[in-house]
Structure 1
Amino acid sequence: MPIKIEMPKLSDTMTEGTLLKWNKKVGDEVEIGDIIAEVETDKATMEMEAFDEGTLSEILVEEGAKAPVGSVLGILLEEGESAGAPAAAPAAAPAPAVSATPAATAAPATPAPVAPAPSSPPVTASGDRVSVSPLARKIAEAKGIDLSTIVGSGPGGRIVKADVGGKEGVDIPAPAATPSPAAAKPAPAASTPAPAASAPAPAAISPTVSSGDKTVPLSSMRKIIADRLLTSKTTIPHFYLHVEADVAPLMTLRKQVNAQAEQTHGNKYSINDFVIKAVINAAQAVPAVNASFNGDSIVEFEKVGVSVAVAVDDGLVTPVIKDATSKSMLQISKEVKEMAGRAREGKLLPNEFDGGTITISNLGAWGIESFDAIVNPPQAVILSIGAIVEKAVVVDGQVVPGLRMNIGVSCDHRVVDGAVGAQFINEVKKLIENPALMLV
């Protein structure tokens, strides 16, 4: 039975992908675990692994073409099979015009289509049909294995050859973006639906294009950014607060800590590392901001997941420091550096965008002193951090030189009231101005 190679769902907001490159050509043998293609998603360029083995007999989507999630990209033939009529790609459900699902919200996993089965297909205890590759079914029948007792490691929980002992020594990694139905309970942010109501999008106004103008097609990432930010600004009632913090004590402490770090672990702490730690502690002190609007209720998250905005060539990504309250300053600093580096190389994994409950956007490195960020749904709060500025300040009636940094917070007013937002931003300010409190 020919095996369909389908466009996988490699991120929670992905509805289509661009097939950038085939690493195999027609006639090549494909082994389980081989990297058969490279796919551009809305977040990064991802490698696509093979979860079946065989000979690549057809390529249905050429390099550079876009394809919806679930559509057929190519065909594998198992040993002894011959090519028949080309397989038709399954009809894909139309993608919604505006996606309100954020990077921190996991869409329901889309299992791979179930291959044609015997007249009495195996079912699970709940009555669901088992998704199994033809080769795995043959091996299971030969060995007398009950497929309803097997948890598959293929896409969407599909049972593949290795799951029934068909090939010794093969290690099949479970795909990060399509968890098994038996997977653990998702992170709190992943279970939060998008806002129930959506305001109609305004009609697009097309620009006048002259002969010398350049038209740049939208990448998958830029489309998602456009959709999500439009949804955020048209469906979430924003309000904004700002305070100015004295960062002179923080600069002094950072200098001392980095001098000591050079003699021990060698990690150099950035100002943003201290800001992240301050936000984590402040979210613990004011848990009402670590929450999400959920239609007729508000979900207050048990854990703090900090989404850190990272600028990349084609937009912005927000990898998440998960379970942030359990991590030391050193762990946070190293994790942010490592994720930011892989983000710029397009090598972040889909699950590294999940679980965020609050976002930090820092434009200080670009010299921006103050700005208002757009809430990252379904989160209720985003921090905007400006540049450190040397300026004249008044202290005890005297004008003296000082170092100041603007801290802004944008809030979803359905979740966070003004007084709560003020309490939170002042807690962040207190920790920035008294940085030793973050280390105890």
Structure 2
Amino acid sequence: MNKKGNILLLFSCCFLILLGLQVFYIHNSYQLEEKELNREARLIADSVLVEMEHLKKGMREDSLIKHLLKLDTQERATDKIIQYNLNLSKSTEHFNQLIDQLMEQRTKGTGFRIALKNEIYSINDLRLKKELLPPETPIVLYETKDKIEKGNLINEGKWNSDVHHQNTDQSTDEYYKSVIKSRSMFELLNVRSLIIQKIIPLCVISLSILIFLLYLFRKTLKNIELQNRKIAQLHTTIDSIAHELNTPITTLKFAIASVQETTSTHLLERQVRKLEHIVASIHTVEQTTDLVTEQEIKQFIQQLKNSYPSLTITATIQFNKNERLTKQALELILSNLVDNSSKYKANNVEIRLSFGTRVELLITDDGMGIPKEEQQHVFEKYYRISRTENHEINGLGVGLYLVKNTVERYNGTVEIISGSGKGTTFKIALPNEK
């Protein structure tokens, strides 16, 4: 996967995580708002129930029981008759009107639609040991015009009732004992719409943030692509210039060779060699397969000492065998690393070469060093460290790129040990087998 693909994958993962966090946060906000609104609605419902208890004054429980008992003694009393006599009585209608009025007063200005109901759901005759109230058919004492759909329990009541019933037909007194259970329930019917009204601003802000992040990412990708195209064009231009310089350099070499040797010709030869080195550093292709010998290594190090008189170069060579490394490759590595040391204010350079089961090169200087955050980029083609001192130093930013390419061509590794103002050490290891 390319760099752009990695960026897209990383952004997608981060975006999905952020989206999940936003959804989780909104979901939690929804639940908290629902809990708070139901709490407020319950307080209103409680206050209405307290007021209704004052107005009810022991409303009809005993008379209702007498009525049920009477129907029970007549046997075969139907559920419809019971509901007709209890729920549609004038007193029930009166209390329903009262509770609607109270609820309207309590919810005025809140936007709440609260349904409230008080009912008896069980009457157990202790004498007959039977349930007098038909299953799932509670006696509604009063309720709001808005009916409960699911309902939340406010409170439950349970009490014993002693009823004295005088039967005038048979001139007898009858006593009944029963256990009565009642409950009060409420429901905030428009809770969902109220929550949505409260969390809409939060949703809009969250959505706006996500859209803005997508917009910024899209713009960033476009800028990166534009910069990459510009860099690619720059690389192509530099490579083309270097290629075009080969012809005039060759012409100059023939021209210098054909004239009489003078002081000027020596100067021209040095300048032509310098041009050749610059062109070679831009696109070098290894042309020879001659393996470097110990003597050639010593000769080249001496050339480096002569070429960089401002540097104190020390070298340690341990040479057992060389099975792979060519002269051209070694000279390219050493010349570019020593040239960098010279450019970046080094005074001393130490070179250690070891040719055994592996070829190991250790080049250490006491120059300006390379900041840690820049070390991963210095091997990129045309890359130069962004610091003030570098503006005064000439270079194309290809030396370390060529070193890295050469090392990788031999399946080797290169490591940097450095820091700002602490000098630089390059550790290179290459296989030494055919």
- Structure number with larger C-alpha Rg: 2
Higher RCO (C-alpha under 8 Å, 6+ residues apart): 1
* Bin for the TM-score computed over the shorter chain: under 0.3
Q: Give the TM-score of the pair, scaled to structure 1.
A: 0.17
